[in-house]
Amino acid sequence: MRNLGRSFEILFTIGYLILYSGGVLALFLSGGYSEGDTGSLRDVDFALIRQLLLLNYAISFLLLLRRWQYVLQCLIRAPFIPIIVSLVMCSILWSSQADITQTRAISLLGTTIFGIYFGTRFSIKEQLNILATTFGIILFLSLVFAIALPGYGRMGGIHAGAWRGIYVHKNPFGQMMTLSSIIFLSLLTRKEKGSWKYLLGLAISALMIALSASSSSLVNLVTLTLIFVVLKVTLWPDRVMIPVIFSLSALGCVASLFVVDALEMVAGVFGKDLTLTGRTDIWPIVIRQGLQRPILGYGYSGFWGDWDSPGAAVWKEHGWLAPNAHSGFIDLWIQLGFVGAAIFLVGFLLVLFRGFHLSRRIHPSAYTWIIIYLIFTCLINSTESSLMNNNSLNWILLTSISISVMSYRDAPTQVEAIQSDSELRLDALHQAAD
């Protein structure tokens, strides 16, 4: 019975990780809609997804109640998660669009509950194994959709021919494939039997990015791979690591002299310009609007909306109906002000430094994954906005990672002993599958 319950939790987690990533269901419900087709995604009825997500919130909450004492300890050790979510809930009181804020704040709370469940139920190593299985399924389904169901798996409209796999657009598909790449790259550094699977996953993920024609995802993959190499170097003994770091720094300085002059040419190769296709043009306008309410912001999801929302001022001035600021950090500040931005920044840096500290002491591959994921979060939110989105896989992973890193203790507690036992059983499950 215990093993049956464990298997249910793993399947429950994998299934909902795929749903939170935006895969399969949204594409089917949209009927294979592509940008440039008649109509809009806003006209699609996503009620089924909302109902499934409500079910997830409820089940996750009930699963947390079974271990509420340990969950409470973890939240105390990672206080920035409950604090910033509490701020989001309170922002209903001053939001410019209170109804939207209330709906999405409750949704963020439910998403956070699932992230807390994922972080407290499974160890970091288990989380990485589950993510590898999840993205293995996503890769397989994306290949099937693109080859056997091209009307769904490939885009039409203005991006005709670009692969999107099980997602509604090539850009989120590219982002998920970048995430898939760093997951398999992190696992590939383990010296264990069956590592060929991780190499295959990495290769297919990289191929998918190329076929998606998502230039930002390709640049992010190259950047993250280089950073990953540097991170692995930092785990070497100091007598080797320090000279290598200095050598890489010197090479980076020399390369930067040429990169600055070549930026415009490189941007042109990817069909972009140095304004990131208009993104940087709207940032000063958004910041100017944000300075009207700098302390607490406009409330969670309280800035962007319809023509009566504060974001409409940006549309009128710039002429582009941007759905967000195309910067997760600017959007965080515009919604929660300097207070919310400061809470998030302090918590994020604490997790980053703690993760780096642990990566040099225990499970290097697992904790290097944490650092590279946090850097991935910074990269994608420099030109896109997915930092604290409700019903988002990115927020789930950031929550689970924060909980896992900050709740780790050098001396094993009874709960950590249980987690270690769970980890061994999950490894046995993987070996049996091999």
* Residue listed under structure tokens 């040419």: 265
Residues in the chain: 434
262-318 pLDDT, tens digit per residue, is 444 544 554 554 445 556 788 899 999 999 999 999 999 999 988 888 988 888 887
The reply to whether 345 falls in a domain is yes
Distance (Å, rounded) from C-alpha 266 to C-alpha 115?
Answer: 38
**Would you say residue 254 lies in a domain?**
no
pTM confidence score: 0.86
Domain residue limits at 188 = 2-235+277-433
**Is 35 within the bounds of a domain?**
yes
DSSP 264-291: HHHHHHTT--TTTTTHHHHHHHHHHHHT
Run of H or E residues at 376: helix 364-383
Q: How far is CA 421 from CA 83, 244, 332, 416, in A?
A: 31, 38, 39, 9
> How many domains does the chain divide into?
1
Annotate 85-142 with DSSP letters as a single string: HHHHHHGGGT-TTHHHHHHHHHHHHHHHHHHHHHHHHS-HHHHHHHHHHHHHHHHHHH
The answer to the question of residue 172 being in a domain is yes
Q: How far is CA 365 from the centre of its chain?
A: 19
In single-letter form, the type of residue at position 200 comes to: L
The span from the CA of 405 to the CA of 124, in Å, is 8
Taking every pair of C-alpha atoms in the chain, what is the biggest distance, in angstroms? 64
Is 387 contained in some domain?
yes
In this prediction, residue 363 carries a pLDDT of: 65
**pLDDT score at 39:** 75
Helix (H, G, I), strand (E, B) or coil at 20: helix
Mean pLDDT over each residue of the chain, to the nearest integer: 84
Report yes or no on 109 lying in a domain: yes
Task: Let me know if 319 is exposed, middle or buried by CB neighbors in 10 A (0-12, 13-18, 19+).
Answer: exposed
Let me know if residue 245 belongs to a domain. Answer: no
Q: What is the DSSP string of 328-341?
A: HHHHHHHHHHHHHH
Asked, for residue 255, whether it belongs to a domain, the answer is: no
- Residue 38 DSSP class: S
pLDDT tens digits for range 322-370: 888 888 999 999 999 999 999 999 999 999 888 888 876 666 666 788 8
Q: How confident is the chain (434 residues) per 10-residue block, as mean pLDDT?
A: 83 97 92 81 88 97 94 93 97 94 96 97 92 96 95 90 94 94 89 84 95 88 86 66 59 50 48 55 90 95 89 84 88 96 95 82 73 91 89 96 84 42 43 42
